[in-house]
């Protein structure tokens, strides 16, 4: 249950309950009408309509207030299991069943043990994919229980569930939880389970804990790059005076591998990532390298790791390629609205490079935004307060000009204050290619008006004016990690409400995300954007 739910929150929730029947009825009528027109099953559409209505009516805090927490479900299940009269089946397991809650350092997250953790040499760690908001599904704890039974007593294996802080209280608990688990558990200590063990937040939290391999070629001024070797994952050894610690001489690339609809493994526009990493490296005086060599290295690495991390269709793996400097003459690769007095980047600087130094200084501002209930910072620049990036993502708006033209607007690259994102570039190239093809703008039977892509400086005041005049269609951010993420709210002196996508409205973020997803997962092709990786048998 959400920890702080005030009287005002309760009144707001009561009001939402009052309007819920009317909104549900409206959604059901519309859903049934659509289903009838398309000759589709009415029951499925009606259920989906109710679910959609509830999702729109109640927010995350409401859901958490109304539903039991993971811990409450766990405690109730343990009590019920221990009080059952029939303990003949697996009695030896029932005998060591206990309610054992192990708090983690952040004060909110916990490991909920099913057995005796003191005897565990290996842990099956269950991760609930509903994560911050959704309650545990019926039968989830029975799934955990069966895993404990199947592990067997002799195997010295125990099972635990992960309970972590809700998103309302803290926007990203993943990092703190990851640190806590790293302190407690060795890399060969954990096996992941749960309905989303391969996806989303679970991958972000646990990937470093259970990853076994890395490739780390070294560079020396006298001998150059050594041959890369793939070896067990482990910590970097750096002295306190290392350049990367003192001067932030490091750069990185975020790369994604995708398991397609056809089961094949694909890398998305890897060549662009490799070329950009060379530019970033040279920008801070790190050694240059052949981008084709990095391309080949990542292919080899993904080939080895794909079977483990991408076992099913439409899954993805986020890979970090990092270049750091120990001394000034060596380095190594490991694959692994803003305040007025704070700048993210400036003309002539290095905001267009993927450098570590670009991100550390903005973390405090990001933390402040989180504490105020926002997800990211919209970085503005100059007296004109031009919009540049949303956090570490490129920022787009779709609006009608005062002349009536429909535009997709994104900050240009000329003054070097934004990163030339791979997803940004892909969105622009894809829309430009579709511009003259009317058929390609038909989405779910609806014909969208083609967008004209415009790269130019645009200000927060232009956004406010477009909202006030009803010309703003939507705003969204793009990046390798988030892909395409819609923006629903901006605060600049006062709230700026971004139009939300509705079933009867013509928005573009979802179709663009869908078009890109079709490409990365192999359902459609576009130029040479994806390369199929041949896996080891």
Q: Give me the CATH number covering residue 386.
A: 3.20.10.10
Instruction: Name the percent of the chain in helix, strand, coil, to the closest 5.
Output: 40, 25, 40
Tell me whether strands 218-220 and 330-335 are parallel, antiparallel or unpaired: antiparallel
354 in any annotated domain: no
Question: How confident is the model at residue 111, as a pLDDT?
Answer: 80
- 88-to-114, 152, 207 alpha-carbon distances in Å: 18, 16, 39
User: Both 317 and 404 in a single domain?
Assistant: no
**pLDDT tens column, 129-179:** 444 445 566 667 777 777 766 665 555 677 777 776 544 444 444 545 555
385 in any annotated domain: yes
341 in any annotated domain: no
Residue 56: helix, strand or coil by DSSP?
helix
476 in any annotated domain: yes
Domain boundary (210, 233, 266) is at 210
User: Both 141 and 248 in a single domain?
Assistant: no
Question: How confident is the model at residue 401, as a pLDDT?
Answer: 93
Residue 356: helix, strand or coil by DSSP?
helix
Question: How confident is the model at residue 129, as a pLDDT?
Answer: 46
User: Both 489 and 382 in a single domain?
Assistant: yes
Question: How confident is the model at residue 133, as a pLDDT?
Answer: 47
CA–CA dist 37, 283 (Å, integer): 58
Question: How confident is the model at residue 504, as a pLDDT?
Answer: 42
78 in any annotated domain: yes
CA–CA dist 154, 135 (Å, integer): 33
Cβ atoms of 325 and 227 within 8 Å: the answer is no
User: Both 42 and 134 in a single domain?
Assistant: no
Burial of 253 (0-12, 13-18, 19+ CB in 10 A): buried
Give kind and range of the element (H or E) at residue 492: strand 489-492
The tally of domains found in the chain comes to 4
Cβ atoms of 352 and 296 within 8 Å: the answer is no
User: Both 125 and 222 in a single domain?
Assistant: no
User: Both 398 and 499 in a single domain?
Assistant: yes
User: Both 150 and 205 in a single domain?
Assistant: yes
- 245-to-203, 233, 354, 420 alpha-carbon distances in Å: 27, 21, 17, 26
User: Both 492 and 377 in a single domain?
Assistant: yes
Cβ atoms of 524 and 517 within 8 Å: the answer is no
Question: How confident is the model at residue 210, as a pLDDT?
Answer: 44
pTM, 2 dp: 0.54
CA–CA dist 53, 30 (Å, integer): 11
User: Both 324 and 413 in a single domain?
Assistant: no
User: Both 166 and 244 in a single domain?
Assistant: no
Question: How confident is the model at residue 69, as a pLDDT?
Answer: 76
CATH assignment at residue 297: 3.30.470.10
525 in any annotated domain: no
Question: How confident is the model at residue 358, as a pLDDT?
Answer: 66
Domain boundary (284, 300, 335) is at 335
Question: How confident is the model at residue 405, as a pLDDT?
Answer: 93
138 in any annotated domain: yes
Extract the residue ranges of the chain whose pLDDT is less than 50.
1-3, 129-133, 166-173, 175, 187-188, 194-213, 328-341, 503-504
Structure tokens at 194: 């749960």
Question: Which residue segment(s) compose the domain that 87 sits in?
Answer: 70-210
Provide the 10 A C-beta neighbour count for residue 185.
17
Cβ atoms of 157 and 120 within 8 Å: the answer is yes
161 in any annotated domain: yes
Tell me whether strands 406-410 and 452-455 are parallel, antiparallel or unpaired: parallel
Domain boundary (190, 210, 230) is at 210
Question: How confident is the model at residue 364, as a pLDDT?
Answer: 65
| Beta bridge partner(s), residue 334 | 322
User: Both 81 and 201 in a single domain?
Assistant: yes
User: Both 120 and 244 in a single domain?
Assistant: no
Provide the 10 A C-beta neighbour count for residue 367.
12
């Amino acid at each position: 249950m959400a920890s702080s739910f005030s009287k005002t929150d309760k009144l707001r929730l009561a009001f939402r309950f009052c309007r819920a029947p009317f909104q549900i009825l409206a959604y059901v009528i519309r859903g049934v009408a659509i289903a009838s027109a398309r000759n589709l099953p009415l029951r499925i559409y009606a259920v989906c309509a109710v679910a959609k209505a509830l999702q729109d009516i109640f927010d995350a805090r409401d859901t958490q207030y109304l539903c039991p927490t993971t811990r409450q479900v766990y405690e109730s299940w343990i009590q019920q299991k221990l009080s059952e009269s029939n303990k003949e089946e697996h009695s030896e397991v029932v005998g060591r069943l206990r309610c054992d809650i192990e708090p983690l350092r952040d004060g909110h997250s916990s490991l909920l043990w099913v057995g005796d953790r003191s005897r565990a040499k290996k842990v099956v760690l269950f991760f609930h994919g509903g994560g911050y908001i959704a309650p545990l599904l019926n039968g989830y704890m029975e799934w955990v229980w069966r895993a404990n039974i199947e592990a067997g007593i002799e195997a010295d294996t125990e099972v635990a569930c992960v309970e972590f802080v809700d998103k309302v209280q803290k926007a990203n608990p993943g990092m703190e939880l990851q640190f806590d688990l790293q302190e407690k558990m060795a890399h060969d200590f954990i096996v992941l389970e749960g309905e989303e063990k391969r996806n989303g937040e679970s991958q972000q939290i646990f990937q470093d804990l259970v990853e076994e391999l890395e490739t780390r070629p070294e560079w020396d001024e006298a001998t150059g790059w050594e041959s890369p070797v793939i070896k067990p994952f482990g910590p970097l050894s750096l002295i306190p005076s290392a350049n990367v610690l003192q001067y932030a001489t490091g750069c990185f690339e975020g790369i994604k591998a995708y398991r397609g609809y056809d089961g094949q493994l694909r890398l998305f526009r890897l060549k662009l990532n490799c070329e950009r990493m060379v530019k970033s490296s040279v920008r801070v005086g790190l050694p240059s390298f052949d981008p084709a060599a990095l391309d080949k290295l990542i292919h080899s690495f993904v080939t080895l790791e794909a079977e483990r991390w991408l076992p099913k269709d439409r899954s993805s793996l986020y890979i970090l390629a990092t270049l750091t400097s120990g001394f000034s003459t060596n380095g190594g690769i490991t694959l692994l609205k803003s305040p007025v007095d704070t700048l993210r980047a400036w003309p002539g600087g290095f905001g267009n490079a993927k450098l570590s130094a670009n991100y550390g200084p903005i973390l405090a501002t990001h933390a402040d935004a989180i504490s105020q209930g926002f997800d990211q910072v919209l970085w503005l620049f100059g007296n004109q307060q031009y919009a540049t990036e949303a956090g570490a993502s490129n920022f787009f708006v779709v609006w009608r000009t005062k002349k009536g033209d429909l535009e997709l607007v994104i900050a240009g690259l000329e003054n070097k204050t934004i990163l030339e994102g791979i997803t940004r570039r892909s969105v622009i190239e894809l829309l430009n290619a579709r511009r003259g093809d009317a058929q390609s703008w038909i989405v779910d039977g609806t014909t969208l008006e083609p967008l004209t892509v415009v790269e130019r400086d645009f200000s927060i005041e232009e956004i406010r004016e477009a909202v006030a005049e009803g010309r703003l269609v939507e705003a969204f951010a793009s990046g390798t990690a988030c892909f395409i993420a819609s923006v629903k709210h901006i605060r600049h002196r006062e709230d700026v409400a971004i139009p939300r996508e509705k079933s009867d409205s013509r928005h573009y973020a979802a179709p663009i995300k869908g078009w890109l997803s079709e490409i990365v997962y192999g359902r459609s092709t576009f130029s040479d954007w994806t390369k199929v990786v041949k896996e080891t048998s």
